[in-house]
Structure 1
Amino acid sequence: MINNVVLIGRLTKEPDLRYTSSGQAVATFTLAVNRNFTNQSGNRDADFINCVIWRKAAENFANFAKKGSLVGITGRIQTRNYENQQGQKVYVTEVIIDSFQMLETRSANDQRQNNPHMDASDGSTSKYNKEQNNQQPAEDNMPNFDREDNPFGSEKIDISDDDLPF
């Protein structure tokens, strides 16, 4: 059976680091992961995924990851259930983390949290704000991959159908 999860998202709050009675570190947190499509109003929805990380990795994660940090995680989905104080059965689904990777520097995270003009989707300033700050928009730095753009120069290649191998 295969049970692998790979997620990239932002922490919704500080990780909650605790220790079991036997001294094992465990941290819990929620990861906000944007969906790949927009809703009817044109906005991206996000899924909020509960995650758990154990032992030394939990301590490291709690030390490095802060609210809003962009992280990549790998792990597995695990379900459990318990009976609450009202006698109802509660089902919990969470991702048990095997490894994590910080995907932005701490200074970039701090700058994004302190700058209200940051674009929440990728952590960069929006095109409007870059132009307001007399910076060059990001689109001007990107190569043009349009089909009409000839990557081999301005000359057109004249090939007949008889010359094609297929």
Structure 2
Amino acid sequence: MNVNKAIVMGNLTRDPETRTLPSGQTVTSFSLATNRFWTDKESGEKKKQAEYHNIIAWGRLGEISQQFLKKGSLVYVEGRLQTKNWQDPQGNKKTRTEIVTEMLQLGPRPGGTRMEQSEKEKPNEENPVSNEINVEEIPF
């Protein structure tokens, strides 16, 4: 059995960029930073180390990323690792490891606001919401 699964949650370091390939398929890419915190055993000093992850999202996941994410957005990403190898114009070998998104979950909006309920959905004093069941109203 083989497993190729990456799970990261962090903040975008740049706005997502979307490209359309000659085939008509769209791909969106962005970079995600995750932080590791620890205390140095010898000095007692608190330390922080950032890791940067290259993320790509195809099709609908890419469209959602482009529409709702921006630099600084918090996002949870699950996907598979993929490594690309190529030569630059000077003949140097290059390698890039990416996470190909299979699932993403958007973090809270800036300012911590949530969508407000519409007036129809809000319970009011005239029509309070009740979890009580009236047995006489059951038709069987």
Is the alpha carbon distance of 1:42 and 1:36 closer, same or farther for their aligned partners in structure 2, counting shifts above 3 Å? closer
Aligned partners of 1:11 and 1:66 also within 8 Å = yes
Quote the residue 1:143 is aligned against: none
1:90 partnered with 2:91:
no
Quote the residue 2:14 is aligned against: 13
> What CA distance in whole angstroms lies between the structure 1 residues aligned with 2:101 and 2:13?
17
Q: TM-score, normalised by structure 1?
A: 0.61
5 Å matches for 1:6-155? 6-38=7-39, 41-108=45-112
Aligned partners of 2:37 and 2:46 also within 8 Å = no
Q: TM-score, normalised by structure 2?
A: 0.72
Structure 2 unaligned segments of length 5 or more: list them: 114-140
Matched letter for residue 4 of structure 1: K
> What CA distance in whole angstroms lies between the structure 2 residues aligned with 1:37 and 1:52?
29
- Greater helix proportion: 1
Aligned partners of 1:38 and 1:45 also within 8 Å = no
Greater relative CO (CA pairs within 8 A, separation 6+) = 2
> What CA distance in whole angstroms lies between the structure 2 residues aligned with 1:106 and 1:99?
21
Q: CA RMSD in A?
A: 1.8
Matched letter for residue 92 of structure 1: R
> What CA distance in whole angstroms lies between the structure 2 residues aligned with 1:33 and 1:82?
26
* Identity value in percent: 35
Structure 1 unaligned segments of length 5 or more: list them: 110-166
Query: Residue 31 of structure 1: SS of its match in structure 2?
Result: strand
Is the alpha carbon distance of 1:38 and 1:101 closer, same or farther for their aligned partners in structure 2, counting shifts above 3 Å? farther
Matched letter for residue 73 of structure 2: S
Deviation for aligned residue 1:98:
0.6
Paired residues in the alignment total: 109
Matched letter for residue 32 of structure 1: A
